[in-house]
Amino acid sequence: MTLNLFGCWTLFRKEVWRFLKVSVQTVLAPAVSTLLYLLVFGVVFEEAVVVYEGHSYSSFLVPGLVMMTLAQNAFANSSSSILQSKMNGNIVFMLLAPLSSVELYLAFLGAAVVRGLVTGGAVLIIASLLIPVSLYSAGLVLLFAVLSSGVMGALGVIAGIWSEKYDHLSAFQNFIILPLTFLSGVFYSIQDLSPFWQQLSAWNPVFYLIDGFRFGFLGVSDVAYLQSLTVALLFLLMLTLLSVLLLRSGYKLRG
């Protein structure tokens, strides 16, 4: 036996099934809270702020909020599933199965991408009912959505493996994921920042995910979308290698 594709598919299906079983918590709640951001910030800054000429602040904000939701949920899917299984002890069912580290990774990554797309899609659909949302390139939107969910899903795999309790995961979320997403241009363009903060933002990989994603909607961005695409791909590759290495080594999973 060389590959266990059906086993990998089963784990992917189980991970998707898991979050759909609690869809109020995993899809509806994040969608509603993101829409609250849109209502509050959209209403307050709609007239006062113009980020890109010819585009309202709301239409600038929507892609950022969709990406924020998508990223946070993709991360939450893989990280919480792995940590919860570790804490409950039911991770043994997966570890006793003839699944390779790559198969385990792909299943968790795939499910994280699906959750990211479902929650991001929910926010986008509801937002488009409230305000006009322009679409420059559906292909680029989808590409960046998949890449971003992948990046955050891979980060979630690493965080889930590393964490030993919810406190660890919460630290990862609050001190790494949240600052990276909030300081990545969800609510503003980095062109409006001082040079120091602009340079700092250039080191934030999530900035490229949001900027490229927004380009797909508006056709304008802070940096060239190809640059964003390259950074996203490299980041995903790096996180993939790290995740697979961790899974292969059995770090904090196999004694």
- Residues 120 and 70: beta-carbon distance below 8 Å: yes
216, 218, 220, 225 alpha-carbon torsion, rounded to 10°: -10
Closest CB to other proteins among 89 and 195?
Answer: 89
* Token pair for 186: 């969800």
Question: Shortest distance, CB of residue 247 to other proteins, whole angstroms?
Answer: 13
**Residue 25 binds other proteins, judged by CB under 8 A:** no
**Residue 250 binds other proteins, judged by CB under 8 A:** yes
Q: For other proteins, which residue of 53, 96, 139, 203 counts as binding (CB under 8 A)?
A: 96
**Residue 132 binds other proteins, judged by CB under 8 A:** no
**Residue 23 binds other proteins, judged by CB under 8 A:** no
**Residue 47 binds other proteins, judged by CB under 8 A:** no
Question: Shortest distance, CB of residue 81 to other proteins, whole angstroms?
Answer: 9
Closest CB to other proteins among 61 and 99?
Answer: 99
User: How many Å apart are CA 32 and CA 39, to the nearest integer?
Assistant: 10
* Token pair for 153: 């899903």
Closest CB to other proteins among 9 and 162?
Answer: 9
**Residue 248 binds other proteins, judged by CB under 8 A:** no
Residue bearing tokens 């889930």: 160
**Residue 101 binds other proteins, judged by CB under 8 A:** no
Candidates 14-22, 145-153, 180-188, 191-199; binding stretch for other proteins (CB under 8 A): 14-22
**Residue 78 binds other proteins, judged by CB under 8 A:** no
Q: Enumerate long-range contacts of 27-33, CB under 8 Å, 24 or more apart.
A: 27/73, 27/115, 27/118, 27/119, 27/122, 28/122, 30/69, 30/72, 30/73, 30/119, 30/123, 31/69, 31/119, 31/122, 31/123, 31/126
Backbone angles phi, psi at 36, to 5 degrees: -65, -40
For other proteins (CB under 8 A), the number of binding residues is 29
- Give me the residues that bind other proteins (CB under 8 A), please: 1, 4, 6-7, 9-11, 13-14, 17-18, 21-22, 85, 88-90, 92-100, 250, 254-255
